[in-house]
């Protein structure tokens, strides 16, 4: 009988020890789980801020939709599986598809709703409403999604929104984002995320096991805060004109694989228009099926590549304005000097040919820019080669080439390339071609006309020509104009805070270059005259054509210029890949863009002729 | 045998004269636990039945009152006279348990109740006390007469009949309680230890066979839910089954109670219904959530007092058969308390055994109070006998 009592004592002691373990030693964990059971956060989404052009015309807005969502915590066990199977029959997806979504959400944020279907169609809304009882844990939740009133317009610079990427999830969660939030993933959507983001309202309620709100009900709450409106410096008229012109030129050229253009306000660096062709629909990344996204990502035309900031092309003859500035500034050429410019030039026992071997006689620098003489610039290149130092490279870099411009976009901008001795040493083949490991006269000669290894982006060229146009200031191109509130009052100025850098070029020198560019667009022999020659005097354009040789055998067409020539309000750079001669393909697009910005009749633009 | 009976007859007269030797520890411990159980029932089930916050509370109160009346009625019981009708009692017990298979009503896949219109009776609960009484009488009468092995076999055989019927209802928990009562009686009767080793070996073999070996060859003795309940405590954490969820929520309720509890209004696992069966088999988790380690530990302490007094009464018992009744009841209470709390805290399989004096349910509440009444009766008779012996 004593053994009986002994057994009872041992058994009850085991219970007390176990109880101590649960209630004292490991109570904290269980308390958190009891709280997690009892508390549910109800999220009220806040709309993301709109993005408008400089006049306030909306480019991107937020539209309210109803999403079909699941509460992962309510979809456990056999009942949860049953619900998802039921739902999968109604939506026509395999149950695994939903199970995977719910299981993933359960791991990352078990008490937040996970979206099963965006923008639920009305018949499905009705289906779910009628079967609330059979679908515990499934709800319709108000949400906002991006709407694009002008479709693909400005897609590259606007960028797109989408769910938080797995690799950046931690950083977003640390900033107080919810796991299922939609964030800016590219373009100004990403760059200005902190202003555009709408902060969701959170209401914490006490619930019972069946999901009913009980007890004290609302425990804490915060109201949703809509995102702020981002006003861009883009002018929707100019943007439309540029995009239409690029598309026209690509189609007209037949062989073309794409085109890009940038229009800047040359004094401030404000981007008036920026486009790349082919383009894409931004909503694909928020709402598209994986297959649709994949199609955009793998399309042979590379529509996601923003050619305006990320496309690197040989600058060709548009570079001659840089060479001219460098020669004047470093004393390689003095104003008024005449240089013989034959069809080809024998230098260092090598014959360097000019474009179509056309001879221009003995001409000054402005005339050389007008007719786009290659041999004139070969002579300047030879002088530069003989001079210690590297004036061509130095001045190219001062103009902002060979490095990112610093436009307000988080990613996608290329540096381009201004070649020098270091670059040649780095990239040459020491065994097969050791001579190429030095900087040779031919390198200077090629560089002087923007060929060889020179690579630039359309944005860089627009900035460089803006510097010529504005009297020598290198601006930082800027898409953001201001953050404004609902009534259009400016909350934060994004434009005037941007840096400008002085080139240090005397006006006399700049005037020589400007005169050359004016002649190139308007002179009797100007390469751009067929396109720009017919414009009224007060809209006179100054600019330069370019026909870039490249590995593809068909030349890229360039035009970079600004207008009005005497007091520039817009600088435009356009490149048409495999578009042929600059005066044919690119110049008309520039003229159309300028007509939209300055208000002259685009019909006055010429369509280009078969000259260089 | 006849001398024994004559001696107790004279004692009974004295005992009837007053409440000599009433075990106050046991009585007060039992009543306190019952009252506490009613209080917890009130707090735990307030929002369980929409529009009727006192549904479970008022019923449990009524059951307890009936049980307490029965308890006091037991104090006046003439055990000797009753022992002469041992086979009648056994027959009634087996018949009523068997009747459930024919007449019974089902709930949650199990047929355990007979519907009497006003109340539902669970004969298997009431049969616990009857079985303890019958086995005690049978063993006491044959203890030094019959060969030990034969006696053990006979006792087990008598217990197996109702146990198997109950097991078929299916109600594994109650059939295990029958086994505990039987083993308790045989143990206190002083049967050879080899018998218990052998029985233990058979039980282990059966468990392995039923849970693991027979299913492997496609023979399922238990219902799937029973297997889930029996094995879920082995798997750490929720395994997605109903039993796994039950156990998980029980542990969360108990653990979140902490040292001092969350109070009746803060016990959200219970009142927000995250813990299923919080008024029946998992009422201990409710106590632990509401009153913490302190309250739950105290409750275990009170159960210890009740079991301890049962053992004291076992010692005091005037006759062998009374001693064995006390042994059977003590074993029953100890087994129920340990297995129920054990399954609440996740160290025992979920076998559907209610917590004495706490869990909701008429039949088991009345039965356990009757059992305590029987213990008190035996105690009084034992003390009276001791008093006579001293003079």
Separation in Å, CA of A51 to nearest CA in chain B: 46
CB contacts < 8 A, A to B, total 133
C-alpha span between A401 and A396 (Å, rounded)? 6
> 3-state secondary structure string, B58-69?
HHHHHHHHHHHH
A5: chain B residues, CB-CB within 8 Å: 308, 311
Q: Which residue has the higher pLDDT, B390 or A522?
A: A522
Closest by CA position to A119, among listed A193, A194, A182, A51: A182
Look up residue B193 and give its two tokens.
């230890």
3-state secondary structure of A189: helix
**pLDDT surpassing 60 at residue B9:** no
- CB neighbour list of residue B156: distance below 8 Å, 6 or more residues apart: B182, B199
**Residue A463 has what pLDDT?**
97
> Across the interface, do A18 and B345 touch by the CB < 8 Å criterion?
yes
A31: chain B residues, CB-CB within 8 Å: 255-256, 258
> Across the interface, do B253 and A209 touch by the CB < 8 Å criterion?
no
A79: chain B residues, CB-CB within 8 Å: none
The conformation of residue B235, written as its DSSP 8-state character, comes to S
Q: Quick one: A187 and A248 in the same domain?
A: no
- Asked if residue A22 is part of any domain, the answer here is no
Separation in Å, CA of A72 to nearest CA in chain B: 14
**CB distance from B260 to chain A under 8 Å?**
no
Helices B24-44 and B55-75: crossing angle, nearest 10°? 170
Note the residue count of chain A. Answer: 612
The CATH number that applies at residue A219 is: 3.90.1310.10
Neighbouring-strand partners of residue A258 = A577
Separation in Å, CA of B273 to nearest CA in chain A: 5
- Domain edge (last residue) among A232, A256, A284: A232
Q: Which of A12, A27, A29 sits opposite B300 (nearest CB)?
A: A12
For chain B, give the longest Cα–Cα distance.
Answer: 68
Give the pLDDT band of residue B241 (cuts 50, 70, 90).
low
**pLDDT surpassing 90 at residue B387:** no
**CB distance from B87 to chain A under 8 Å?**
no
Q: Quick one: A434 and A468 in the same domain?
A: yes
Closest by CA position to A286, among listed A435, A141, A115: A115
**CB distance from B196 to chain A under 8 Å?**
no
Q: Quick one: A269 and A134 in the same domain?
A: no
**CB distance from B25 to chain A under 8 Å?**
no
**Residue B18 has what pLDDT?**
52
- Asked if residue A7 is part of any domain, the answer here is no
Q: Quick one: A205 and A266 in the same domain?
A: no
C-alpha span between A197 and A144 (Å, rounded)? 12
**Residue B11 has what pLDDT?**
53
Residue B231 burial (10 A CB sphere; 0-12, 13-18, 19+): middle
**pLDDT surpassing 60 at residue A135:** yes
> Mean pLDDT lowest for which of A127-141, A334-348, A412-426?
A127-141
C-alpha span between A272 and A274 (Å, rounded)? 7
> Across the interface, do B338 and A15 touch by the CB < 8 Å criterion?
yes
Residue range B244-285, pLDDT digits in tens: 788 889 999 999 999 999 999 889 899 888 898 899 999 999
**CB distance from B49 to chain A under 8 Å?**
no
| Residues of B (121-160) whose Cβ lies below 8 Å from A | none
Neighbouring-strand partners of residue A146 = A62
A208: chain B residues, CB-CB within 8 Å: 47, 271-274
> Across the interface, do B337 and A210 touch by the CB < 8 Å criterion?
no
> Across the interface, do B345 and A26 touch by the CB < 8 Å criterion?
no
- Asked if residue A29 is part of any domain, the answer here is no
**Residue A87 has what pLDDT?**
83
**CB distance from B184 to chain A under 8 Å?**
yes
> Across the interface, do A8 and B304 touch by the CB < 8 Å criterion?
yes
Q: Quick one: A179 and A323 in the same domain?
A: no
ipTM over cut 0.85: yes
Q: What angle do CA A398, A402, A405 make, to 5 degrees?
A: 75
Q: What mean pLDDT is predicted for residues A348-373?
A: 93
**CB distance from B231 to chain A under 8 Å?**
no
- Asked if residue A5 is part of any domain, the answer here is no
Q: How many CB atoms lie within 10 A of CB A351?
A: 8
B255: chain A residues, CB-CB within 8 Å: 22-23, 26-27, 29-31, 33-34
Q: What mean pLDDT is predicted for residues A214-242?
A: 90
Give the pLDDT band of residue B233 (cuts 50, 70, 90).
low
**CB distance from B302 to chain A under 8 Å?**
no
Q: What mean pLDDT is predicted for residues A212-217?
A: 74
Give the pLDDT band of residue A1 (cuts 50, 70, 90).
low
Separation in Å, CA of B33 to nearest CA in chain A: 17
Q: What mean pLDDT is predicted for residues A84-89?
A: 83
Q: Quick one: A182 and A273 in the same domain?
A: no
**pLDDT surpassing 60 at residue B1:** no
> Across the interface, do B300 and A208 touch by the CB < 8 Å criterion?
no
**pLDDT surpassing 60 at residue A541:** yes
Residue of B252, B277, B296 to mutate for A, most A C-beta atoms under 10 A: B252
The CATH number that applies at residue A471 is: 3.40.710.10
Q: Quick one: A194 and A299 in the same domain?
A: no
**pLDDT surpassing 70 at residue A322:** yes
What's the mean per-residue pLDDT of chain A?
Answer: 90
Residue position matching structure tokens 């970079």: A560
| Structural domain boundaries enclosing A149 | 39-232
Residue position matching structure tokens 């590995």: A551
Q: Quick one: A113 and A159 in the same domain?
A: yes
Look up residue A96 and give its two tokens.
């695994």
Residue range B319-365, pLDDT digits in tens: 999 999 999 999 999 999 999 999 999 998 888 899 999 999 999 99
**Residue A552 has what pLDDT?**
87
**Residue B16 has what pLDDT?**
53
**Residue A610 has what pLDDT?**
38
- Asked if residue A45 is part of any domain, the answer here is yes
**CB distance from B55 to chain A under 8 Å?**
no
Separation in Å, CA of B22 to nearest CA in chain A: 21
**Residue A96 has what pLDDT?**
83
What's the mean per-residue pLDDT of chain B?
Answer: 87
Residue range A485-501, pLDDT digits in tens: 878 899 999 988 888 99
Q: Which of A1, A24, A208 sits opposite B311 (nearest CB)?
A: A1
**Residue B2 has what pLDDT?**
44
> Across the interface, do A12 and B184 touch by the CB < 8 Å criterion?
no
Residue range B363-380, pLDDT digits in tens: 999 999 999 999 999 999
> Across the interface, do B252 and A19 touch by the CB < 8 Å criterion?
no
Residues A579/A256, Cβ–Cβ less than 8 Å? yes
Q: Quick one: A277 and A220 in the same domain?
A: no
> Across the interface, do A23 and B253 touch by the CB < 8 Å criterion?
no
Domains in chain A, number: 2
**Residue A611 has what pLDDT?**
38
Residue range B332-342, pLDDT digits in tens: 999 999 999 99
3-state secondary structure of B43: helix
Give the pLDDT band of residue A78 (cuts 50, 70, 90).
confident
Closest by CA position to B111, among listed B272, B223, B255: B223
Q: What angle do CA B120, B125, B129 make, to 5 degrees?
A: 135
Q: Quick one: A351 and A285 in the same domain?
A: yes
- Domain edge (last residue) among A232, A265, A292: A232
Look up residue A278 and give its two tokens.
């082919």
Q: Which of B184, B288, B311 sits opposite A23 (nearest CB)?
A: B288
Give the pLDDT band of residue B51 (cuts 50, 70, 90).
confident
> Across the interface, do B296 and A31 touch by the CB < 8 Å criterion?
no
> Mean pLDDT lowest for which of A305-314, A562-571, B336-345, B348-357?
B348-357
Q: What angle do CA A74, A76, A82 make, to 5 degrees?
A: 95
**pLDDT surpassing 60 at residue A589:** yes
Q: Would strands A344-347 and A350-353 be described as parallel, antiparallel, or unpaired?
A: antiparallel
Q: Which residue has the higher pLDDT, A91 or A110?
A: A91
C-alpha span between A77 and B16 (Å, rounded)? 60
**Residue A116 has what pLDDT?**
85
**pLDDT surpassing 90 at residue A564:** yes
Give the pLDDT band of residue A356 (cuts 50, 70, 90).
confident
- Asked if residue A34 is part of any domain, the answer here is no
Q: Quick one: A240 and A228 in the same domain?
A: no
**Residue B127 has what pLDDT?**
94
Look up residue B211 and give its two tokens.
């849970």
**Residue A101 has what pLDDT?**
81
Residue of B272, B339, B353 to mutate for A, most A C-beta atoms under 10 A: B272
**Residue A434 has what pLDDT?**
86
**pLDDT surpassing 90 at residue A137:** no
> DSSP H helical segments within A179-313, as ranges?
187-191, 193-196, 236-253, 284-287, 290-298, 307-310
Separation in Å, CA of B84 to nearest CA in chain A: 27
Residues B242/B230, Cβ–Cβ less than 8 Å? no
Residue range B16-34, pLDDT digits in tens: 545 568 899 999 999 999 9
Give the pLDDT band of residue A300 (cuts 50, 70, 90).
confident
Among chain A, residues having any CB pair with chain B shorter than 8 Å are 1, 3-5, 7-9, 11-12, 14-16, 18-20, 22-24, 26-27, 29-31, 33-35, 37-38, 76-78, 206-210, 214-215
Q: What mean pLDDT is predicted for residues B212-240?
A: 68
> Across the interface, do B304 and A19 touch by the CB < 8 Å criterion?
no
**Residue A405 has what pLDDT?**
96
Give the pLDDT band of residue A430 (cuts 50, 70, 90).
confident
**Residue A441 has what pLDDT?**
92
Q: Quick one: A505 and A385 in the same domain?
A: yes
Residues B61/B38, Cβ–Cβ less than 8 Å? yes
**CB distance from B11 to chain A under 8 Å?**
no
A15: chain B residues, CB-CB within 8 Å: 300, 338, 341-342, 345, 347
| Residues of B (312-331) whose Cβ lies below 8 Å from A | 314-315, 327, 330-331
Q: What mean pLDDT is predicted for residues A60-82?
A: 84
- Domain edge (last residue) among A167, A199, A232: A232
**Residue A612 has what pLDDT?**
37
């Amino acid at each position: 009988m004593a053994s009986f009592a002994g057994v009872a004592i041992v058994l009850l002691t085991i219970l007390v020890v176990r109880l101590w373990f649960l209630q004292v030693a490991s109570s904290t964990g269980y308390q958190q789980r009891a709280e997690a059971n009892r508390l549910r956060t109800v999220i009220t989404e806040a709309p993301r801020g709109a993005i408008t052009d400089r006049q306030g015309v909306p480019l991107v807005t937020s539209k309210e939709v109803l999403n079909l969502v699941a509460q992962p915590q309510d979809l456990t066990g056999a009942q949860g599986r049953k619900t998802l199977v039921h739902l999968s029959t109604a939506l026509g997806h395999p149950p695994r598809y939903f199970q995977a979504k719910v299981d993933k959400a359960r791991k990352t944020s078990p008490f937040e709703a996970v979206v099963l279907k965006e923008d639920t169609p009305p018949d499905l809304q009705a289906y779910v409403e009628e079967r609330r009882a059979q679908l515990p844990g499934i709800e319709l939740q108000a949400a906002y999604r991006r709407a694009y009133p002008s479709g693909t317009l400005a897609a590259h610079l606007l960028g797109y929104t989408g769910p938080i990427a797995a690799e950046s999830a931690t950083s977003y969660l640390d900033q107080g984002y919810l796991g299922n939030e939609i964030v800016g993933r590219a373009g100004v959507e990403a760059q200005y995320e902190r202003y555009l983001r709408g902060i969701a309202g959170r209401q914490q309620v006490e619930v019972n096991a069946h999901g009913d709100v009980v007890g004290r009900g609302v425990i804490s709450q915060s109201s949703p805060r809509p995102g702020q409106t981002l006003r861009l410096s883009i002018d929707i008229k100019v943007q439309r004109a540029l995009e239409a012109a690029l598309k026209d030129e690509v189609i007209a050229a037949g062989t073309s694989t794409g085109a890009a253009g940038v229009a800047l306000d040359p004094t401030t660096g404000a981007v008036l228009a920026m486009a790349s062709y082919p383009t894409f629909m931004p909503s694909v990344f928020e709402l598209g099926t994986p297959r649709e996204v994949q199609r955009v990502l793998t399309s042979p035309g590379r529509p996601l590549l923003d050619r305006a900031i990320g496309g690197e092309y040989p600058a060709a003859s548009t570079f001659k304005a840089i060479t001219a500035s460098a020669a004047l500034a470093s004393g390689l050429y003095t104003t008024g000097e005449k240089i013989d410019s034959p069809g080809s030039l024998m230098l260092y026992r090598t014959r360097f040919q000019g474009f179509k071997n056309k001879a221009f006689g003995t001409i000054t620098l402005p005339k050389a820019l007008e007719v786009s003489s290659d041999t004139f610039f070969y002579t300047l290149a030879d002088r530069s080669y003989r001079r210690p130092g590297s004036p061509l490279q130095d001045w190219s870099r001062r103009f902002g080439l060979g490095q990112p411009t610093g436009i307000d976009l988080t990613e996608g901008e290329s540096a381009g390339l201004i070649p020098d001795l270091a670059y040649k040493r780095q990239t040459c083949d020491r065994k097969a071609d050791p001579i190429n490991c030095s900087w040779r006269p031919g390198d200077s000669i090629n560089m002087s006309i923007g060929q060889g290894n020179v690579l630039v982006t359309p944005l860089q060229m627009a900035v460089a020509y803006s510097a010529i146009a504005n009297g020598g200031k290198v601006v930082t191109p800027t898409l953001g104009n201001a953050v404004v509130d609902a009534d259009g009052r400016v909350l934060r100025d994004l434009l005037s805070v941007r840096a400008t850098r002085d080139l240090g070029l005397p006006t006399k020198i700049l005037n020589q270059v400007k005169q050359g560019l004016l002649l190139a667009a308007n002179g009797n022999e100007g390469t751009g005259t067929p396109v720009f020659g017919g414009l009224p005097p007060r809209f006179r354009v100054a600019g330069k054509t370019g026909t870039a040789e490249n590995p593809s055998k068909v030349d890229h067409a360039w035009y970079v210029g600004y207008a009005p020539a005497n007091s520039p309000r817009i600088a435009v750079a356009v490149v048409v890949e495999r578009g042929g001669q600059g005066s044919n393909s690119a110049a008309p697009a520039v003229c159309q863009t300028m007509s939209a910005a300055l208000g002259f009749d685009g019909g006055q633009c010429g369509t280009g002729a078969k000259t260089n | 045998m006849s001398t024994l009976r004559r001696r107790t007859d004279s004692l009974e007269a004295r005992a009837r004269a007053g409440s000599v030797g009433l075990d106050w520890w046991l009585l007060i411990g039992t009543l306190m636990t019952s009252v506490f159980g009613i209080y917890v029932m009130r707090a735990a089930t307030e929002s369980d039945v929409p529009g009727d916050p006192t549904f479970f509370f008022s019923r449990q109160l009524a059951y307890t009152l009936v049980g307490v009346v029965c308890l006091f009625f037991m104090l006046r019981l003439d055990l000797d006279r009753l022992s002469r009708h041992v086979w009648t009692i056994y027959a009634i017990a087996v018949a009523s348990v068997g009747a459930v298979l024919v007449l019974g009503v089902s709930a949650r896949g199990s047929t355990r109740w007979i519907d009497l219109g006003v109340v539902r009776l669970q004969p298997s609960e009431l049969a616990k006390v009857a079985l303890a009484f019958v086995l005690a009488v049978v063993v006491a009468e044959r203890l030094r007469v019959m060969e030990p092995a034969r006696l053990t076999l006979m006792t087990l055989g008598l217990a197996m009949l109702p146990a198997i019927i109950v097991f078929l209802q299916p109600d594994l928990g109650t059939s295990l309680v029958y086994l505990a009562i039987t083993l308790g009686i045989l143990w206190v009767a002083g049967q050879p230890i080899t018998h218990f080793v052998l029985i233990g070996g058979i039980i282990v073999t059966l468990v392995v066979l039923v849970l693991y070996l027979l299913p492997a060859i496609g023979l399922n003795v238990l219902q799937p839910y029973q297997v889930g309940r029996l094995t879920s405590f082995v798997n750490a954490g929720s395994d997605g089954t109903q039993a796994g969820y039950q156990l998980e929520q029980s542990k969360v309720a108990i653990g979140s109670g902490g040292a001092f509890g969350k109070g009746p209004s803060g016990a959200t696992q219970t009142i927000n219904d995250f813990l299923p069966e919080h008024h029946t088999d998992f009422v201990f988790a409710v106590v632990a959530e509401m009153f913490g380690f302190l309250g739950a530990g105290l409750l275990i302490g009170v159960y210890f007092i009740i079991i301890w007094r049962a053992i004291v009464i076992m010692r005091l018992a005037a006759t062998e058969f009374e001693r064995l009744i006390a042994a059977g009841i003590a074993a029953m209470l100890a087994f129920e308390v340990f297995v129920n709390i054990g399954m609440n805290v996740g160290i025992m399989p979920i076998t559907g055994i209610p917590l004495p004096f706490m869990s909701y349910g008429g039949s088991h509440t009345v039965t356990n109070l009757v059992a305590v009444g029987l213990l008190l009766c035996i105690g009084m008779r034992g003390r009276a006998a001791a008093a006579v012996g001293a003079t």
